[in-house]
Amino acid sequence: MLEEIAQTCPSCAAESVVDVGVKEAPEVHYSVLNPTRRLPVEILGEIFVQLQEMLGGRSIAPTQICRHWREVAIGTSRLWNCIKVPYYSGKAAADAEMVTLWQQRSGGQPLTIMLGRKTWYWGPSAAERKNPAFDSALNSQAHRWKDMQLHVNDAIASFLNNIPEDLPMLHTLYMSGRPRDEVTPFANFSNASALRFLTLNGRLSTPMPIFPWAQLTKCSLLREGGYTWQDGYHVLSQADKLQAYKMELDALSAASDVHPLPGICLDHLLSLDVDIVEGANVRHLFDCLTLPALTDLRVIQTFQSHHLEHTVAMIIRSRCTLKRLAIGSRNVALTHGQLLNIFTLTPMLTELKLSFKGSVGLDEFLMDLMTHYPHHPVGPCCLLPQLASIKLHVNSCLSYEELAEFLSMRFDTTPCVPGAMAQLRTVALIPWDDTTAKLRNRGLDLHILGRTRRLELEEYFIPGNEEDDSEDEEDEDDEPGYDNSFDYYEYDSDIGGEW
């Protein structure tokens, strides 16, 4: 606790040790001259609130230091607005008492509710974990729920069916889990007028529960739910105010003979993030979409192959101005022609990530078209002029000489038209000679993407394996490590995060 206080308020760190000597000199501790008594109650309460935020949730630590701090903590309503209960232990009576007490102490504050734990263990009996008294106490304040996380097991499935429909403050809802017995499709959240963010990471029922899709601005269907492209269509066809949408789709159960579906035009969708886990028929979804406002697009194929032309057709049909693009497949390489088509369609692109085999088509001829020369012949010239960040999974087809020249030319830009070309600022790849190191030393953000962290050049190079630019160097293709260094790189999956 002392370390927490020191991080939050260094001036209070020494003061908190007073509790150690309370038993030895209580008259000193309770004196009004004691430093812990001289802080205004409002400031001390705010320190407690900041401490709780640092700990990522609720913290009752301030109530255990001394009597004065306990009184201040109990009187600070913002300390009690997060109710987190694992809902699996045998403490049913204590949980019911706790939730009643915390709701009283929180005053009229909006509540954050976190129920259950993210696990596949359900225990011996769902009936043993049901807690009607807790459910009743929590539901009595449903009108104050603002953020809610539900990791649904069999006991919480029972709780779901009793949630009141009056949820005027509920803004963010996250639901995960797969109960042993499928939950009856519920509509308890259908009247949550303030709901804007929805994440579903589990299959609770078939068909899907009823939500106020039309008012959502951000929605995610994640992998644990085993969602298909039809589920994606079901959401997109109703959520016409969406600004960000993420799908992790598994379409193994989808029928192959699909009749053409009505098109969907989403005028407000800015970000689309699609992971195709098993999605042989996802093309039907892309063929339906028109997204004129789209600026961020991420399409990653894990196992099944998705025909890229359907994604390209969606971009053409939407006439959108893409600024960030991440695309790639573990199994299918993008060709020179496909990448050229994409680059031609996205002249305003500022960030590009070619994942897995998505970078195979980035050959020396394409990089030549992305590099400015003073006397370029008439035709395609300086593709992606606004590009400031490029991230590649490097492969054996990449020309390192052409890449080094591309980096040099795009870092020291000389545009065809004054002001028409952006300076390249960020590059993530596997470098092999000192040319790239010099660029890094001059200010280019050049690094290597490892499995879990960013690596600097010095961390990546192995002593004795350095390469140089000499013309006598032979067997460069035999240098180990260049072909498969990124075979198991885990791509980014969070929309809005690092691409």
Amino acid 326: pLDDT: 94
Quick check: is 462 in a domain? no
Asked whether the predicted pLDDT for residue 440 surpasses 90, the reply is no
Nearest of 243, 294, 289, 230 to residue 265 by alpha carbon: 289
Mean pLDDT of 10-15: 43
Domain boundary among 51, 72, 93: 72
Amino acid 401: pLDDT: 74
Together in a domain, 93 and 180: yes
Alpha-helix runs per DSSP H in 377-487: 400-411, 434-441, 457-460
Amino acid 184: pLDDT: 65
Together in a domain, 104 and 175: yes
The answer to whether residues 265 and 290 touch, using CB atoms and an 8 Å cutoff, is yes
Of 60 and 482, more confident = 60
Write the Ramachandran bin of 55: left for phi over 0, alpha for psi from -120 to 50, otherwise beta.
alpha
Quick check: is 95 in a domain? yes
Cβ-in-10-Å burial (0-12, 13-18, 19+) of 459 comes to exposed
The answer to whether residues 131 and 97 touch, using CB atoms and an 8 Å cutoff, is no
Distance in angstroms (rounded) separating the CA atoms of residues 312 and 294: 13
Sorting pLDDT into bands at 50, 70 and 90, what band is 21?
A: very low
Sorting pLDDT into bands at 50, 70 and 90, what band is 135?
A: confident
Distance in angstroms (rounded) separating the CA atoms of residues 436 and 130: 61
Q: Both ends of the chain: CA-CA distance in Å?
A: 37
Report how many domains make up the chain. Answer: 2
Quick check: is 201 in a domain? no
Amino acid 246: pLDDT: 96
Amino acid 187: pLDDT: 80
pLDDT tens digits along 226-254: 888 889 999 999 999 999 999 988 756 55
Mean pLDDT of 104-133: 71
The DSSP call for residue 335 is: P
Together in a domain, 30 and 48: yes
Amino acid 421: pLDDT: 72
Q: What percent of the chain has pLDDT over 90?
A: 21
Q: pTM (2 decimals)?
A: 0.76
Asked whether the predicted pLDDT for residue 86 surpasses 60, the reply is yes
Together in a domain, 112 and 170: yes
Quick check: is 107 in a domain? yes
Amino acid 437: pLDDT: 65
Name residue 231's amino acid.
Answer: D
Sorting pLDDT into bands at 50, 70 and 90, what band is 317?
A: very high
Nearest of 389, 369, 396 to residue 380 by alpha carbon: 369
Quick check: is 385 in a domain? no
The DSSP call for residue 494 is: S
Distance in angstroms (rounded) separating the CA atoms of residues 201 and 39: 45
Name residue 263's amino acid.
Answer: G
Distance in angstroms (rounded) separating the CA atoms of residues 265 and 284: 15
Helix, strand, or coil here: 389? strand
Sorting pLDDT into bands at 50, 70 and 90, what band is 207?
A: confident
Together in a domain, 113 and 51: no
The answer to whether residues 482 and 475 touch, using CB atoms and an 8 Å cutoff, is no
Amino acid 213: pLDDT: 95
Mean pLDDT of 10-26: 43
**What dihedral angle (degrees, nearest 10) is formed by the CA atoms of 197, 202, 208, 211?**
-20
User: Could you give the count of Cα atoms lying within 13 Å of 73 in the half-sphere of its Cβ?
Assistant: 19
Name residue 38's amino acid.
Answer: R
Sorting pLDDT into bands at 50, 70 and 90, what band is 3?
A: very low
- Domain span including residue 40: 2-72
Together in a domain, 121 and 53: no
Sorting pLDDT into bands at 50, 70 and 90, what band is 19?
A: very low
Angstrom distances, CA of residue 91 to CA of 153, 165, 495? 17, 28, 38
Sorting pLDDT into bands at 50, 70 and 90, what band is 463?
A: very low
pLDDT tens digits along 32-73: 556 666 778 888 778 788 877 777 666 667 777 677 778 877
Q: Identify the residue whose tokens are 């802080």.
A: 39
Together in a domain, 52 and 90: no
Together in a domain, 136 and 178: yes
The answer to whether residues 397 and 367 touch, using CB atoms and an 8 Å cutoff, is no
Together in a domain, 56 and 85: no
Enumerate residues 6+ apart whose C-beta is below 8 A from 255. 281
Of 365 and 433, more confident = 365
Enumerate residues 6+ apart whose C-beta is below 8 A from 385. 347, 415, 420, 421, 422
User: Could you give the count of Cα atoms lying within 13 Å of 311 in the half-sphere of its Cβ?
Assistant: 25
Amino acid 70: pLDDT: 81
Distance in angstroms (rounded) separating the CA atoms of residues 201 and 116: 14
Top mean pLDDT of 102-111, 125-134, 280-289, 313-322 is at 313-322
Distance in angstroms (rounded) separating the CA atoms of residues 114 and 81: 11
Distance in angstroms (rounded) separating the CA atoms of residues 44 and 171: 30
Together in a domain, 113 and 37: no
Enumerate residues 6+ apart whose C-beta is below 8 A from 372. 381, 382, 409, 410, 413, 414, 415, 416, 421
Mean pLDDT of 280-304: 88
Nearest of 293, 296, 299 to residue 311 by alpha carbon: 299
Quick check: is 297 in a domain? no
pLDDT tens digits along 143-201: 999 999 988 877 777 788 888 888 999 999 999 887 666 666 678 898 899 999 999 98
Computed on alpha carbons and rounded to an integer, the radius of gyration of the chain in Å comes to: 28
Asked whether the predicted pLDDT for residue 335 surpasses 80, the reply is yes
Asked whether the predicted pLDDT for residue 288 surpasses 90, the reply is yes
Angstrom distances, CA of residue 195 to CA of 168, 296, 369, 480? 8, 23, 47, 53
Domain boundary among 55, 72, 89: 72
Sorting pLDDT into bands at 50, 70 and 90, what band is 348?
A: very high
Domain boundary among 38, 72, 106: 72
Range with lowest mean pLDDT among 217-231, 309-323, 459-473, 478-492: 478-492
Quick check: is 327 in a domain? no
Report which secondary-structure segment, H or E, holds 37.
helix 35-38
Tell me the sheet residues that pair with 173: 148, 198
Amino acid 180: pLDDT: 63
Amino acid 226: pLDDT: 82
Quick check: is 146 in a domain? yes
Of 340 and 47, more confident = 340
The answer to whether residues 103 and 82 touch, using CB atoms and an 8 Å cutoff, is no
Together in a domain, 112 and 67: no
Asked whether the predicted pLDDT for residue 458 surpasses 70, the reply is no
Together in a domain, 92 and 169: yes
Amino acid 362: pLDDT: 86
The answer to whether residues 410 and 424 touch, using CB atoms and an 8 Å cutoff, is yes
Asked whether the predicted pLDDT for residue 349 surpasses 70, the reply is yes
Instruction: Catalogue the long-range contacts made by 158-161 (C-beta closer than 8 Å, 24 or more residues apart).
Output: 158/126, 158/130, 159/115, 159/135, 160/186, 160/188, 160/204, 161/186, 161/188
Angstrom distances, CA of residue 204 to CA of 183, 190, 249? 6, 16, 16
E-assigned strands of 191-345?
A: 197-201, 218-221, 244-250, 264-265, 271-278, 289-290, 296-301, 324-329
Mean pLDDT of 121-139: 67
Sorting pLDDT into bands at 50, 70 and 90, what band is 270?
A: very high
Indicate the average pLDDT of the chain. 75
Amino acid 250: pLDDT: 75
Mean pLDDT of 295-312: 82
